[in-house]
Amino acid sequence: MRFPEGFLWGAATAAFQVEGATTADGRGRSIWDEFCEVPGAVVGGHTGEPAADHYRRFDEDVRLMADLGLQAYRFSVAWPRVRPDGGLVNKAGLDFYDRLVDRLLAAGIEPWPTLYHWDLPQPLEERGGWAARATPYRFADFAASTAEALGDRVRHWTTLNEPWCSAFLGYAAGVHAPGRRDPRAAVAAVHHLLLGHGLAAEVIRAASARAEVGITLNLYPVIPADPDDPADVDAARRVDGLQNRIFLEPLFHGRYPDDVVEDLAPYGFTAHVRDGDLDAVAAPLDRLGVNYYAEHHVSGRPGPAVAGSPWVGAEHVTFPGRGLPRTDMGWEVEPSGLTEVLLRVHRDYPPIPLYVTENGAAYRDAVAPDGAVRDPERLGYLESHLRAAHAAIEAGADLRGYFAWSLMDNFEWAEGYAKRFGIVHVDYATQVRTPKMSAMWYSQVAKDNALATVVAP
């Protein structure tokens, strides 16, 4: 099962999840540093220190990527390192990414930086965070300084990673930083994140004529539990509107969906949309990143109220399971959903190159006495989802690359260090890296540009 010529094979991480060094070289505090100190917010009371110590061990990690034959590395730039309080540039922090980019290019690995993977500087949150209209403009300042420093060598830029999580998990559910439970702030954050994307895209292109700019969305099929039940069908409409269409429609068509606007009217959503905003949001994209982990099967039948639900305007929606295998995160494994979301973008929106920018699974694995890490479940997950990605290509989707999540075990947000997504095992006590069986298999896939048929025991 071969992939198209030139298909890009990579792996992904995020700054707060792997870098550690949270006080090094002038780095300021982020909303995640603050959130980790809230009792009970993070499993085990863990923090982003030392994570995978990537800040100090990036040379070793780049050599590891090269040994695995990865062609691209998707990482994020920590805003608190570059502009610690949202104001002046911290050159020492920016220099880290300068060195990282140089090492990657020297190893033949294409750098794919993401400018925002959820680590807002805490001083900006104290001034309102993403619920405040000033924040998108401070994000554009951060984007400009980063692109000016790296744009001579970096071509592939991503503005935001999963703005749904930033807005709804951070400001409505309160289960991610900054831990707020304010539906009005959440819907304001949706628009301000998208505005920040548009403003950042403009300054990136101004800084580098060779820049290609994209955004990454976590897109999921949303399916009514009973397609003949009007309550389930309407629940699916509402959740699809909040998960997918509230981002896709303004990015590609310069408007928010009418039904979503109506659903969010009680929360003052449209008050945040000013003249010219949607023109900035809908500036042409060079590509779209798609993160996929599971389908959403939803029901509108009465169920217990969910305290701090992320589904603003759809708080009583329930998510019945279907008895499928689950990952260690409790997410059902449904590879066909990846085919569906890729084909949906291909079918419903203007032509655009697509990349799977995150896809992977957490499972419990450990280093065996012989030094190996055998993770057949993760390998099977990746293999089945690559088959699903290939099916989307065969059906016409312009899919040009795939990034496994994650390169290495890391700090998994509210789960702390309890969940392992990496294709490389990290011993957090010693920081020893051990490529897992899935990493060796994925390395062969990248080398062959085709699914490997032989797996080492």
Q: Where are the alpha helices (DSSP H) in 328-453?
A: 336-348, 376-394, 437-448
At position 104, the amino acid (one-letter code) is L
Catalytically annotated residue among 19, 358, 383, 412 = 358
Radius of gyration of the chain (CA): 21
Answer positive or negative: Cα dihedral of 44, 48, 53, 56: negative
At position 280, the amino acid (one-letter code) is A
d(CA 19, CA 420): 16
Q: In a 3-state reduction of DSSP, which class is residue 290?
A: strand
Longest Cα separation, the chain: 63
The residue behind tokens 């062609």 is 71
Q: Where are the alpha helices (DSSP H) in 208-257?
A: 230-240, 246-253
Q: Report yes or no: 424 and 50 within 8 Å, Cβ to Cβ.
A: no
Rounded to a whole number of angstroms, the distance between the first and last alpha carbons of the chain is 22
At position 58, the amino acid (one-letter code) is F
CA separation, residue 9 to residues 54, 380, 391, 447, 448 (Å)? 21, 17, 17, 9, 11
Strand partners of residue 401: 8, 355
Please state the φ and ψ torsions of residue 252, each to the nearest 5 degrees.
Answer: -100, -25
Catalytically annotated residue among 19, 162, 332, 383 = 162
Q: Report yes or no: 388 and 339 within 8 Å, Cβ to Cβ.
A: yes
Does residue 358 carry a catalytic annotation?
yes
Does residue 162 carry a catalytic annotation?
yes
d(CA 366, CA 369): 10
List, by residue number, the catalytic residues. Answer: 162, 358
